[in-house]
Amino acid sequence: MASRRDAPAGPAPVVVASGLTRLYAVSEREAGLAAALRSVLRRSVRQVRAVDGVTFEVGPGEIVGFLGPNGAGKTTTLKMLAGLLHPTEGRAEVLGHAPAERRPEFLRQITLVTGQRSQLQWDIPAADSFELHRAVYRIPPARYRRILADLDAMLDLGPLLGKPVRNLSLGERMKCEVAAALLHEPRVLFLDEPTLGLDVVAQRRIRSFLADYNRRTGATILLTSHYMADVQALCRRVIVIHHGRLLFDGLLEALAGRLLPHKVIVVQPSDPAADLRPYGEVTERAPGEVTLRVPRAAAPAVAARILAEVAVDDVSILDPPIEDVVEQIFSAGRAPESGAGLRP
């Protein structure tokens, strides 16, 4: 059992980010031929701060969720920690290494999974990609067989491995992606939207697998996700990043009350002119669809009232998207705050 971050006098941190900053140079050009010619001579370049002075530590065995709207700097932070991007300023340290040096002994202990891109080769069966992985990571055959058997038991890969990856469904492919990423038994996992686009069943499957893997191996996991459910199921601790700055670092429950005070009710009224304002705050009105925000506890009752009193085609109760909530809570330049349980 891995020691958790609330253990007294925890061991040395696995991941350290200290004043981590990343600037992107974005070249700008006005439209038009004259501007194009001018830009040949003098390109106007603007510096964008994708990540701005982010500092945190993660202990062994922790699962930490990164929250923040699109473009907040989550992925850039992960990429700096994995060694794909050099920090412009500040320092990253993972397992005692500077990630950007990409030393083989460092790379052998980490892995990166992204829901958007595939590391498996499209045209060959996943088993062949695994075999290449084994060669590159120099995994001894006996150990490889054991790991593969374990992963198979947990993810039920058997029937998938022989098919060309392009013939797999997204959920099946993601299982293979996750398995490929874990073949070398990494100690640190960087997961960037690992459940993106998956159906609910597949999401739950991946989630419970990751939790299980963390329990069994004590691996440290850093995770970004669009889905609140991912974070709620896996992470006790969350880090909120917005406009490249760290806004919150602490226990999920300390944030949850603030983060999720509302539920969203989406109504498709049969009569497009129906007035739903009495039931809650109307946040969006699309043709044939009205979105309401209601207090969390009241949501079931309000939905029942709508069903009883308004002619509707459909009603659904949803968690507000993380993006919206984070944007809403931390917008308007509110000062960064720290929750309870913040690491010293």
Partner 1 sequence: MIEALRLFAAFVRVAVHREVAYRANLVAQTVQSVVGLGTALGGLAVVFAHTATLAGWPPSELVALVGVFQMVGGAIGFAIQPAMQRLMEEVRTGALDFTLLQPADSQVLVSVREVSVYRLTDVALGAALLGAALARLGARLGPGRIAAFTLALAAGGAVVYAVWLALATCAFWWVRVDNVLVIFETLYDAGRWPVSIYPGWLRGALTFLIPVALATSVPVEALTGALRGRTLALAAVVAAAALVLSRLLWRAGLRAYSGASG
Q: Rule CB under 8 A: which residues touch partner 1?
A: 22, 24, 79, 82-86, 88, 100, 102, 104-108, 110-112, 114, 117-119, 123-124, 128, 131-132, 135-137
CB of 106 to partner 1, least distance (A): 8
For the CA atoms of 75, 79, 81, 85, what is the dihedral angle to 10 degrees? -130
Asked if 189 and 219 count as a contact pair (C-beta separation under 8 A), the reply is yes
CB of 282 to partner 1, least distance (A): 39
CA distance 125 to 157: 12
Task: Tell me the C-alpha to C-alpha distance, in Å, between residue 2 and each of 7, 215, 216, 231.
Answer: 10, 7, 8, 19
| Structure-block tokens of residue 61 | 């065995």
Question: Of 136 and 301, which CB lies nearer to partner 1 in the complex structure?
Answer: 136
Rg (CA), the chain: 23
Residues paired with 112 in a beta bridge: 190
Cβ neighbours of residue 115 closer than 8 Å, sequence gap 6 or more:
174, 192, 193, 194, 195, 196, 197, 198
Question: Of 185 and 327, which CB lies nearer to partner 1 in the complex structure?
Answer: 185
CB of 24 to partner 1, least distance (A): 8
CB of 184 to partner 1, least distance (A): 8
Question: Of 118 and 217, which CB lies nearer to partner 1 in the complex structure?
Answer: 118
Cβ neighbours of residue 183 closer than 8 Å, sequence gap 6 or more:
130, 133, 134, 137, 139, 144, 147, 148, 151
CB of 210 to partner 1, least distance (A): 19
CB of 142 to partner 1, least distance (A): 18
Question: Of 165 and 228, which CB lies nearer to partner 1 in the complex structure?
Answer: 165
CB of 320 to partner 1, least distance (A): 30
> What is the CB-side half-sphere exposure of residue 253 using CA atoms within 13 A?
2
Asked if 60 and 220 count as a contact pair (C-beta separation under 8 A), the reply is yes
Asked if 240 and 258 count as a contact pair (C-beta separation under 8 A), the reply is no
Question: Of 74 and 263, which CB lies nearer to partner 1 in the complex structure?
Answer: 74
CB of 104 to partner 1, least distance (A): 4
Question: Of 1 and 135, which CB lies nearer to partner 1 in the complex structure?
Answer: 135
Degrees, nearest 5: CA angle 67-15-69: 15
Question: Of 139 and 302, which CB lies nearer to partner 1 in the complex structure?
Answer: 139
Strand pairing report for 220-224 and 63-67: parallel
Question: Of 55 and 118, which CB lies nearer to partner 1 in the complex structure?
Answer: 118
